[in-house]
Structures are given as C-alpha cells and as structure tokens.
Amino acid sequence: MAKTPMRVAVTGAAGQIGYALLFRIANGDMLGKDQPVILQLLEIPDEKAQKALKGVMMEIDDCAFPLLTEMTAHSDPLTAFKDVDVAVLVGARPRGPGMERKDLLEANAQIFTVQGKALDAVASRNVKVLVVGNPANTNAYIAMKSAPSLPAKNFTAMLRLDHNRALSQVAAKTGTAVKDIEKLTVWGNHSPTMYADYRFATVDGKNVKDLINDQEWNANTFLPTVGKRGAAIIEARGLSSAASAANAAIDHIHDWMLGTNGKWTTMGVPSDGSYGIPEGTVFGFPVTTENGEYTIVQGLEIDAFSQERINLTLKELTEEREGVKHLLP
C-alpha cells in the first residue's frame, strides 16, 4: 500500500541552498524512494522573492517527480508550517556590510522566534526541525525556546556539513574511502570553533588516529581546514556553499528518519547534560539514530586537548545564547 505523503516545509526556498535542496527532496533522496512528499515552501513577503520562488516551482513541476503529490508557496510561516512533519529552516538574514555579529544574531533571533512560535501553533506535534540558516545552533535554540509545546529534542542544527567535510579530509589523508570510515564526529558550534574529532574513528577496523599519528597535522592543518572550510568556499566561489549544504541537510534528515544502523553521525542537538554541556545548549554530538530518534553516544573519553577544544566552542555558544537572551519569550 502506498505510504501517506509527508509534509515538508522549506524556508528560504528561493535561495541558493533551496535550489540545490528542493529537487532532491522531491526525488526521494531525503525521505526514501517510496515516500510521497508535499512541499510547503516559505519565502519572505517580497515581490522579487515570491516571483523567484514561483520560478523554482515551475522547474520542479517540469521534473514531473512521481513522489511529489502537492506543492504550495507561502509568505506566512503560519500557513507554511501547517501540519508539517519535517521543517528545514534555511532562510536567514545574511550578514550585510557593516553588520556586527551581534546585529546578525539579533536579526536572526527575530526570524527564528517568529518561526518557532508558528511551528508551535500549527506543525505536527512530532515535527522534526533542522536549522541550516546561520548562526545555526543558536537559531535552533531560539526556535526551540519559542515552541514550548513541542518536544525540545525535535529541534536540531546542522553540523553534518562539518562532519562530511571532516570525513573527506580524513579519507584523503589516510588514502582510504569515505565509505569505510566510521565513528567520526564534530563537537560544538557550526563555526570555526567546532572540534572535528577522529580519535575514535576507524577505517576497515583500524584506528584512524594511529594511522595518521600526527598531532601537529591534527591541530594545525586538519582542524583549521575543516573549521574554515565555509570561508574558503566563499573566497573561491564568491558565494557560500550551497550544493554541499543541501546535501548535508538531506543526509541529516535521512539518517534521523531512517536510522544509521548503529553507525555514528553528527547532529547539533539540545544537550541532555552529556559530556558536561549545559542542558538545552544546541551542540554537535556524536549520535546514532533508530526509529526516528537520535541517541547521543555515551562514555567517550575526553582527553585534555579535546576538553580544551570543547570548552572553546561551548564558550562561543554560551556567549551567543547570552546575546539573544533578552529576545526570547
């Protein structure tokens, strides 16, 4: 019997990540090749943005995706999020000329307060939310705090692009295939302070740290390369990463919904106090997923170098959280 269609909201749908994301959702890459989908697309109430969104929808129509049963355009989160099972929050205010980090935080805090409240009011009670728009961890925290009637654990931030970037760097360094690397993770904030950690990783059963055996490379090449990859792409392309970000969003929701079969991945999730991260802080953790639920991998040893890195990224997140405290409901 055919499955009931799932309702997926995407915000910032006419932006560059939206353009790389929507076609793949409609094609079944995110929720499975047997799962029909309804797309509910949100853009700002601006003539140009809404017109661009219509153009993207015309192209989606022209793909005649068999799994796409319905698609609607919205300028109001209260209609866009109605009954949604999945919400991918991509749309955010980019940093403009002369804008300080604080201004960016405040502008986005407003967007994610409104969107959190709208999810709280109209989304499915089990909606799974992924925040992509930057600053992703803090935006996810704001949306979560603005939606008190929804389970806090259903609000997540995207660390998967960092995870995938780290996988690719480790594969290149060890001369191995990405598919053979397991147990890698990225702790903390989606920002240059993130801590990509291959101490537990294995490739074909061998420990990656032993294979690399080069702490100087870890500290001075690997971590800065992964941490500053977003900036390197902006420098090279003149635009921020889009297809790789969309791909990571697909991976994140796919694995959350369909399970990792015991394998680790990385998700930004509200802490339950694990590893001393204060409860509620949206932090990148190693997780496994099963039956639509994630579980933070427990019992990992945190050595002095790792603790220092984790403290650094936590400090930044705590400051971001403090910076928007006055705007929260």
Ligand X SMILES: O=C(O)C[C@H](O)C(=O)O
Residues in contact with ligand X by the rule CB under 6 A = 134, 161, 230, 233, 240-241, 245
Name the binder of 14 from ligand NAD, ligand X, none, CB < 5-8 A by kind. ligand NAD
Alpha carbons 99 and 267: distance in angstroms, whole number:
29
The distance of closest approach from Cβ of residue 141 to ligand X in the complex, given in angstroms and rounded to an integer, is 17
Give me Rg for the CA atoms of the chain.
19
163 touching ligand NAD, by CB under 6 A: no
List the one residue from 90, 257, 282, 324 that touches ligand NAD (CB under 6 A): 90
43 touching ligand NAD, by CB under 6 A: yes
Q: Which is nearer to ligand NAD, 57 or 211 (CB)?
A: 57
Alpha carbons 198 and 253: distance in angstroms, whole number:
23
Which residue carries 């991945």 as its tokens?
A: 265
Name the binder of 233 from ligand X, ligand NAD, none, CB < 5-8 A by kind. ligand X
Among the candidate windows 9-17, 33-41, 55-63, 275-283, which touches ligand NAD by CB under 6 A? 9-17
184 touching ligand NAD, by CB under 6 A: no
Query: Could you give the C-alpha distances from 72 to 6, 13, 45, 64, in angstroms and in order?
Result: 14, 11, 14, 15
The distance of closest approach from Cβ of residue 136 to ligand NAD in the complex, given in angstroms and rounded to an integer, is 4
Alpha carbons 236 and 61: distance in angstroms, whole number:
33
The distance of closest approach from Cβ of residue 160 to ligand NAD in the complex, given in angstroms and rounded to an integer, is 7
Active site residues: 190
Closest listed residue to residue 266, CA positions, set 244, 294, 292, 243: 294
The tokens describing 237, both together, are 């392309």
Among the candidate windows 54-62, 132-140, 176-184, 310-318, which touches ligand NAD by CB under 6 A? 132-140
User: Who contacts 29 (Cβ-Cβ below 8 Å, separation ≥6)?
Assistant: 250, 254
Q: What is the largest CA-CA distance in the chain?
A: 56
Name the binder of 246 from ligand X, ligand NAD, none, CB < 5-8 A by kind. none
Helices vs strands, H then E, count in the chain: 12, 14
247 touching ligand NAD, by CB under 6 A: no
Name the binder of 197 from ligand NAD, ligand X, none, CB < 5-8 A by kind. none
The distance of closest approach from Cβ of residue 241 to ligand NAD in the complex, given in angstroms and rounded to an integer, is 5
Name the binder of 90 from ligand X, ligand NAD, none, CB < 5-8 A by kind. ligand NAD
Range list of β-strands (E), 3-125: 6-11, 37-42, 68-74, 86-89
25 touching ligand NAD, by CB under 6 A: no
Range list of β-strands (E), the chain: 6-11, 37-42, 68-74, 86-89, 128-131, 155-157, 181-182, 185-187, 195-197, 202-203, 206-207, 265-270, 282-290, 293-296
Binding site for ligand NAD (CB under 6 A): 11-12, 14-18, 42-44, 49, 90-94, 111, 132-134, 136, 158, 161, 190, 240-242, 245
